[in-house]
Amino acid sequence: MVRIISFLFSILFCVSTLAQSKTSDVLFTVEDEQVTAKEFLRVYNKNLDLVKDEAQKDVDAYLQLYVNYKLKLQEARRLGLQNDVNYQREFNTYKNQLTKNFLSDNKVTDELVKEAYNHLSKDLKAVHILIRMDEADIDTLAVYNRLMDLRSRLTNENFETLRSELHDGQEVFVEDLGYFTGFKMVYPFEVAAYNTNVGEVSKPFRTRFGYHIVKVLDRRDSRGEVTVSHIMIGSNQPDSSIVPKKRIDEIFLMLKQGQDFASLAKQFSDDKGTADKGGEMAPFKGGQLSSTEFEKAAFDLKNVGDMSQPFQTDFGWHIVKLINKEPFGSFEQMKPELEMMVKRDSRSSLINSALLEDISNKYVVKEYDEQKQYFKSIITTDYLNRGWKLPEDFKKDALLASIDDFQIKNNEFSNYLLANQSKYNGKEIDVKELIDFEFKMFLDSQIMTYHENNLENINEDFAFVLQEYRDGLLLFDLMEKQIWNAAAADSVGLQNFYEKNKNQYFSDESFDGTILTASSKEDLENALKLLKSGKTLEEINAKLNTDTKQSVIISQGNFEKGHQLLADGFKFKEGISKIYDLHDSYSVYQVDKIFQPAIKALEDAKGRVINDYQTYLEENWIKELRSRYKVNVNNDVLNFVKTELAPKR
């Protein structure tokens, strides 16, 4: 029995080892570049949900796409695009940001995320007193004691009286902060405020601006999340006969007369992203929209179904209707977003401190105390007035510290000290103590930099994501150079391509004319009678619409098949149509001239022609690359990959 178990274990171990070794095997090569099964499996699985074309989910088809991808990268490197200054700048910017995302202490991060959630769930209303101080000032006792005296006054006296007496806008600031929430103030201020009860005044605390005391006046629940529908009439109208303010007022009158909001949004809203949904927008939270006017109008609505008055934003005129209000989200819902916010905020310094302690244990860090003592012997008080200089016999090459095999010499620390002289200008501080403080700051930064530079070698996930971006950015530059810009600039080639394929570029049937729309069939019948009797549109408008009632909306222009104002079943025919049902309202059409489907001129179809021409150029280019670079596929490894990706039964 023991032998059987041992034998079975050996088989399982061999199978496991075989599978692991197979993933390291080379699936295919493009010239000298090797692509392992592991790399292909990782990319395939990562992108599987993004691939909409079922044919591309086929392993063989996806393999060809990935080979094409590698061929393009070979071509980019042959052309030397990786040496472009702009490419290197953009890549390094991304690398720096990605590095920050991978550098964190999870335990501290989790604690800060929970704290951030608690703060964001409440809005505080507060006032504060600030006495400005420089960050480098260390003599703070007098300021602290002064604020302790003011703390009693802020507790018991009228705030406006204190403000008029103390606020000078230079050294002392006495300010009403209104309502705020998490991440709206510097982190030390936020913590002090949220740790202070309503009606109480905090003890003095320090931020980078100086010393504060804060009095909390109110604490309320966050506004949560709101869902609204809206009708927008854009500021810039292609039809000069439409005056945005007048049109939104016309629609508002129809709404007050009982016309359906969604129906009017479908007919008239210029926000094409929401019009076909009856104007309904995706849910949003406070501070999420770029327009504060729109956000205020939305959150001011109290009950589902409530509707705002027309109001103006930078985008145009709006009417908003409340669809739903949700309370502040759960912690699990908000956690991913909060993690990003915490890492971008100044509170990330707490994460960095914890991270630095962990990182320091990964490497062998040595300090050479005799060189630190040497710096203490050559530093003078001239450093405090930006007048310190290195002695002529400065030992610049002496070893100050090391991180593994990386050596840090006196010259690096001296440059650091000289660069930081200005922050101590005019301060009173023991310069030898300054050396201890600045050396720690310097060495910490060196350890962090060393770890960042080494991250690609020790973190497989980081290396993969970075390589993916490196290649993606290179591919973008290549496609822009070889295909996209080339297609747009090649007017002769574009014209020839259009001539060969112009039967693919047809316009839809359309007409020039007028559309009358009304929520009441009776109102539209009245408008139709006036129209048939030869009344002008101005006369119809004056007859049926007043300052207090909007009976009919008149739209003029060219209307293509499928336009939002065209009713189902409408047939293009010159003259005045019958009355049609349209989105719970009624419409009638006066067709002045019909334009039949026809081949579009190149200028009218240029966007689509350029896109098709780019596809044509790319297909031919790939054929050239496949003839230029040698591609070999290992079919044994490919069969293994297919087995790995086959549905498990």
Q: Angle at CA 565, nearest 5°, toward 559 and 568?
A: 100
Q: What does the pLDDT read at residue 53?
A: 55
Distance in angstroms (rounded) separating the CA atoms of residues 284 and 271: 17
CA distance 383 to 420: 10
Give the per-residue pLDDT at 13.
Answer: 34
Predicted local distance difference test score (pLDDT) of residue 22: 59
pLDDT at 140: 78
Q: How buried is 64 (Cβ within 10 angstroms: 0-12 exposed, 13-18 middle, 19+ buried)?
A: middle
Q: How far is the C-alpha of 585 from the C-alpha of 499, rounded, in Å?
A: 45
Predicted confidence at residue 52, as pLDDT, reads 52
pLDDT score of 359: 79
- In the block, tokens 């200028």 appear at 603
pLDDT (tens digit, 9 = 90+) per residue, 532-574? Answer: 999 999 999 999 998 888 999 999 998 988 899 999 889 999 9
d(CA 147, CA 212): 7
pLDDT score recorded for residue 464 = 86
* Tokens, residue 403: 């991180």
E strands, 137-187, in order = 172-180
Which tens digit of pLDDT belongs to each residue from 14-67? 333 334 445 578 999 999 899 999 889 888 887 775 555 555 568 898 899 999
**pLDDT score at 78:** 93
| Predicted pLDDT at 15 | 35
Q: Choose among 585, 525, 566, 551: nearest CA to 260.
A: 585
Residue 491, pLDDT score:
87
Q: How many other CB atoms are there within 10 angstroms of residue 5's CB atom?
A: 9
Radius of gyration of the chain (CA): 35
What are 575's strand-pairing partners?
Answer: 591
DSSP-assigned letter for residue 29: E
What per-residue confidence (pLDDT) applies to 496? 92
Distance CA 290, CA 464 (A): 35
Query: To which residue do tokens 């591609």 refer?
Result: 631
Predicted local distance difference test score (pLDDT) of residue 119: 92
Q: How far is CA 400 from CA 368, 412, 413, 445, in A?
A: 5, 9, 8, 14
Phi, psi of 629 (to 5 degrees): -115, 140
- Token readout for 337 is 């977003």
Q: Is the dihedral of CA 634, 639, 643, 646 positive or negative?
A: positive
Burial 141-160 (b: 16+ CB within 10 A, else e): eebeeebeebbebbeeeebe
Q: What is the pLDDT of residue 288?
A: 62
The ranges of the chain with pLDDT < 50 are 1-21, 649
pLDDT of the residue at 138: 66
- Asked whether 301 and 308 are in contact (CB, 8 A), the reply is yes
Name residue 362's amino acid.
K
- How far is CA 256 from each of CA 250, 307, 316, 457, rounded to the nearest angstrom? 10, 10, 21, 67
Concatenated DSSP letters of 240-279 = TT--HHHHHHHHHHHHHTT--HHHHHHHH-S-HHHHTTTT
Distance CA 425, CA 434 (A): 13
